[in-house]
Amino acid sequence: MNYKKQAHKPSWYQSDASKIYHKVTSGSSPFNEWYEFDNRKDALDHVALCFYSDSFWQRFSFHNGEIYDDDQFTFESINSAASGDDWILKLDAKPACIQEMIEAESRF
């Protein structure tokens, strides 16, 4: 995993076709963020350790080793469960998009 917060694209960004790349940018802001992950698990590990903003946690939840947008859980289970561990995924639930998670954590 590589990460940089800087105005311009780092030299390693999109340099390896086997990696996953994401960015959150606003012009040449020094707060632009650049990410390189080995795979989805690498991205999820980073999110679990480093993402802590209210805007992230008000939208996403961990469930069985994956991260889902809260709208992927049944309304009934959210309202009746004792904790998020008891929430039930909808039948067609899809894991959260890495880019959307990064954007939720970003200052932009």
Maximum Cα–Cα distance across the chain: 49
User: Do the Cβ atoms of 30 and 11 come closer than 8 Å?
Assistant: no
What's the pTM?
0.89
**What is the percent of the chain where pLDDT is above 70?**
100
Cα 36 to Cα 23: distance, rounded to the nearest angstrom: 9
Rg (CA), the chain: 16
Two tokens at 51?
């993402």
Quick: pLDDT tens for 8-46: 999 999 999 999 999 999 999 999 999 999 999 999 999
Which residues have C-beta within 8 Å of that of residue 50, sequence separation ≥ 6? Answer: none
Handedness of CA 33, 38, 42, 44 (dihedral sign): positive
